[in-house]
Chains A and B, each alone.
Chain A
């Protein structure tokens, strides 16, 4: 009889250690004889480092070592391309003579690092950092990507070409000019989406040491053990086998731990000193030191016919990549894919640019380029529906991508495409009724006599690829051991996936138990160690359930075959390869960029105080097609958490920079939503349209609930007030300005 492990909300396997305070987070780790590290950050957006004098710091009490650029064997790193110095300093070439020769003498954002101090105590390390003397020559600050694109702008990475444009994707499908001539209605708008800070509650920290096999080992938070290892090994000039990455408990990630932060400098000090070294970043260091959600400017011109068919979309999207590439190329690729929304549009012209500036780098963050593009696409759809006098839900259903419809990239989304299912699910649960007459029609703008409190409702949809891809061969490793004699008594699953709070370890145990038809309580997980497990890929792009599930299924089947052949214990490894994808064509974008997608829709009700500008979200209905909810409570947790994080993005979190400097560098001035700020009611509808390649039909969930929220709230504010606000967060000041009150 088949066991019932899939679809059960079993408790998290890590909950006990987390409620008792026993779960070890990176900052909790300690070893005998360990040193404490502090970093000297550049704290200036663009400058040439003329000299670094560490002599006073080296002589300070308790200091064991001070390292600068000249000490880093291969002084460069980066997840996509190695365009960032580990430490900035006047040394132009890496000591090893290897690497592409990133100009290490240039500081390109406030969070660039100049030196690190290892001392007996943290207080001593901190005191010594203040004794390091650095001579800078300040350079012109490029804080605006549009300025940085201009031909006469100073070039931030001269070794990477003669332009600051580091990413350009094109989509060319049909003939937009011809289609605009045939369109009955056209909507043109410009949108701005803000920076968002990940603000995981556990700031970057780690402990490095030499393990029993002589490997330099880094215990820190991350999202992909093997990518961390590759980046650290590269910078240290070591073979990867000499570097080991292990993950203790991780206090949130959301994309912000994909790029390296403390790991290389920790490893450098431990490798040179052969001693354990610990670091904990302060909250401020975390905020200036790691990447952010890209702020994006989006210009759109969309056309539709009077019978309600979308016929053309022309988009120009400019993403601020900040100082270094990080994952801008991948993030903005997703912006290109999602720039037409989950709709069939026969004529599309999209240009997406990523631009180097002196801002904190744009990086991975839940949604990965999709929230920005969907803000534009969904508001375009709402505005067109209004102009046509159509209900926005009906308009979406008329234009929803269906099986076989081509996306902007000229190929269909893999079947089954469930836009209609999620839109209908959100509509029905919300009780969305068509209005006889669009409220805003004929209203002469907002400021004429709005009552103090007005309410409105809004709708938006979204979609997101599962997995990286765009030609990259997605893969994931797992190993299964079956122990026992006559019957299976104990199972060991080996998998290096990062548990960042999303529940992946619990879900993997459920999937292994299901694949072997055993109860979950006999499955033991060995995890998060690059030295003893194969490459799991990243916990990002909503991919891990899909990828790990397939890897576990493959390993379990192979182990079962050995078990049946009487092997004891029966042990098998498996590397899952996802269906192949292709790169976007440089001129047209033509491609099959992804092997799976997941779809979502939301309906919201808001209340706007027209006297204070305060926006309250009263109710959210979130419908997400996750394919199959392996653990429904964990999936609902992802939805509720995603909606609230999106509420921060849309309403409360106002990240302010000035000339490349971060002004909101603490939790007291960067306002995360508290429980009293959030939507009063979040109702989750789990839609389960199985993906034929997903394990038990699963697609993915992590990013989905984030996607439609900001445009749905914008549409609701419009419904309530009659004004479209093309830029967010919807702070009281911005709302009052839009209402003409200030």
Chain B
């Protein structure tokens, strides 16, 4: 018999109670248990940043922690960013307008990395933006349009 552990977690403002295997990764929990597939898995070991989510408001790689560690905590995924279907978060709007994506697979992780960054630093320099993006891989864009989108988002959010 496999031991299951209880997890009580709030995701995007909704509280969930689940019984999970202790080794289930938070990324797999979000994707397969809660069907929140906007959190993408690219490398499974913390290099690419595609699975980044907010954990009590801080950026965290969901492939590097277990679902059970989220017990009692609050998680926000990309699905929780927009206020409503019609009202995107300004960061999402900026990535759309400024061509901040191509294939889009890295995009949710980048958005969830930029949210706390822009909250802490609403008026960042280009170099600060680049440093903040340096833990996220993008294979398509060459990053420049992502930087432009973050700059535009900062303007929109000020």
Residues of A within 8 A of B (CB): 9, 11-12, 14-25, 27-28, 30, 198-203, 249-254, 282-283, 500-503, 633-634, 636-637, 639-645, 666-668, 672, 674-676, 678, 682
Residues of B within 8 A of A (CB): 31, 35-45, 47-48, 50, 77-79, 81-82, 88, 92-93, 95-97, 99, 101-108, 111, 130-131, 133-147
**Chain B min CB distance to A675 (Å):** 4
Which one of A22, A27, A640 lies within 8 Å of B141 (CB-CB)? Answer: A640
Contact B103 A11 (CB under 8 A): no
Contact B88 A637 (CB under 8 A): no
Query: What are 13 inter-chain pairs, A to B, with CB distance below 8 A?
Result: A12-B99, A18-B107, A19-B88, A20-B38, A22-B38, A252-B140, A283-B43, A503-B102, A633-B145, A637-B145, A667-B42, A667-B45, A676-B131
Q: Told that A12-B101, A637-B141, A639-B142 touch, could you supply 5 new A-B pairs with CB distance under 8 A?
A: A19-B93, A249-B103, A633-B99, A641-B139, A667-B42
Contact B134 A202 (CB under 8 A): no
**Chain B min CB distance to A500 (Å):** 6
Collect the chain B residues with CB atoms within 8 Å of residue A254's CB: 139
Identify which of B78, B104, B141 gathers the most chain A CB atoms within 10 Å of its CB.
B104
Contact B99 A21 (CB under 8 A): no
Collect the chain B residues with CB atoms within 8 Å of residue A20's CB: 38, 78-79, 81-82, 88, 92
Contact A637 B77 (CB under 8 A): no
Collect the chain A residues with CB atoms within 8 Å of residue B144's CB: 640, 682
Collect the chain B residues with CB atoms within 8 Å of residue A19's CB: 78, 88, 92-93, 95-96, 101, 104, 107, 111
Contact B45 A201 (CB under 8 A): no
Contact B104 A501 (CB under 8 A): yes
Contact A674 B139 (CB under 8 A): no
**Closest B residue to A29 using CB positions:** B37
**Chain A min CB distance to B95 (Å):** 5
A675 to B101 CA separation, bound complex (whole angstroms): 14
Contact B95 A201 (CB under 8 A): no
Collect the chain B residues with CB atoms within 8 Å of residue A633's CB: 99, 145
Known: A25-B40, A203-B42. A18 touches B131 (CB 8 A): no
Collect the chain B residues with CB atoms within 8 Å of residue A503's CB: 102
The 5 closest A-B pairs by CB, nearest first: A21-B38, A501-B103, A18-B104, A640-B142, A251-B105
Identify which of B95, B97, B133, B146 gathers the most chain A CB atoms within 10 Å of its CB.
B95
Which one of B41, B133, B136, B141 lies within 8 Å of A641 (CB-CB)? Answer: B141
Which one of B31, B97, B108 lies within 8 Å of A11 (CB-CB)? Answer: B97
Collect the chain A residues with CB atoms within 8 Å of residue B111's CB: 19
Collect the chain B residues with CB atoms within 8 Å of residue A641's CB: 102, 139-142
**Chain A min CB distance to B13 (Å):** 15
Contact B105 A201 (CB under 8 A): yes
**Closest A residue to B46 using CB positions:** A668
Known: A30-B35, A201-B40, A675-B134. A668 touches B45 (CB 8 A): yes
Contact B139 A252 (CB under 8 A): yes
